[in-house]
Amino acid sequence: MPSLKDLKNRIESVKNTRKITKAMQMVAAAKLRRAQDAAEASRPYTERFNAVLGGLAASVGGSDSAPKLLSGTGSDQTHLLVVMTAERGLCGGFNSNIAKLARAKAEELKAAGKTVKVLTVGKKGRDAIKRDLGDAFVGHVDLTEVKRIGYENAQEIARDLLARFDGGEFDVATIFYAKFQNVVTQIPTAQQIIPAAFDTAEDEGATTLYDYEPSEEAILADLLPRGVATQIFAALLENGASEQGARMSAMDNATRNAGDMIDQLTIEFNRSRQAVITNELIEIISGAEAL
């Protein structure tokens, strides 16, 4: 049974931990609003940009003059998985859920006889996947020093992917990230970005209203690389909001758990203290009766 001093030290230690988790919760809450606004503000542009590209892609179809980023290499043997996670932990299952989805996709591809390569963005994803897919690693993007994610960060990642694609290193690229829904829910998502894939069901009828100068192929050749950067930027913003939401929720749970632990330790401390006092009284009374 722990002594009174040990119990008192544990209570003080847990109280200090609760102060830290409460402070981290408040910081995450402050950052969440800005990150959520950025993610939500990017969605209309990204959706409309993809709709325009989808309409152009539908008009080009499977023509021989279609850009390589749209038609692909003609093969799907080599897949590049771009796993986008956080640079820091203490955000619940945010990082592990994205890594789990990427590992499941890698196992599925390997079972089908495909070659899998992995590029990570964020060291937590690298640490989580390296144990199982260390031999498939081809690169890592470190954003530790980046104070605030900007479009230039997405452009750097996009240029790296496009250079690898032009060099024939892979046939299909898929990004993995968490789509922000609310503070409690962040949805791990896999999205193919190379070759470009669009849902053109809603835009097929609208494409006949436009005449393009220059040709659709020329416009696509210019816009598709920007589309890759745009999708990566949107994923980074969604990840940023999801990370802060997950951290806020995790620190709130940690603060509540610390409070419950303090209550339990306080009860145990009081009981032990009462037992010590009772023993001392018994000794005093016994000594008095002996006299």
Residue 287: is it exposed, middle or buried by C-beta count within 10 angstroms (0-12/13-18/19+)?
exposed
CA nearest to 236, candidates 121, 69, 88, 117: 121
Name the 3-class secondary structure at 193.
strand
Which residues are designated catalytic? 91
Strands 186-194 and 172-180: antiparallel
DSSP result, 235-251: HHHHHHHHHHHHHHHHH
CB 246 within 8 A of CB 55: no
DSSP result, 27-78: HHHHHHHHHHHHHHHHHHHHHHHHHHHHHHHHHHTT-TTS-HHHH--S--SE
Q: Residue 120 is encoded by which pair of tokens?
A: 């990570």
Give start and end residues of each alpha helix (H) in 182-215: none
Q: Which residues contact 193 (CB under 8 A, 6 or more apart)?
A: 82, 161, 173, 174, 175, 227, 228, 231, 232
User: What is the side-by-side order of every strand in the sheet holding 78-84?
Assistant: 137-141, 115-121, 78-84, 172-180, 186-194
* Residue 93, CA distances (Å) to 85, 86, 185, 249, 262 in order: 11, 11, 11, 10, 25
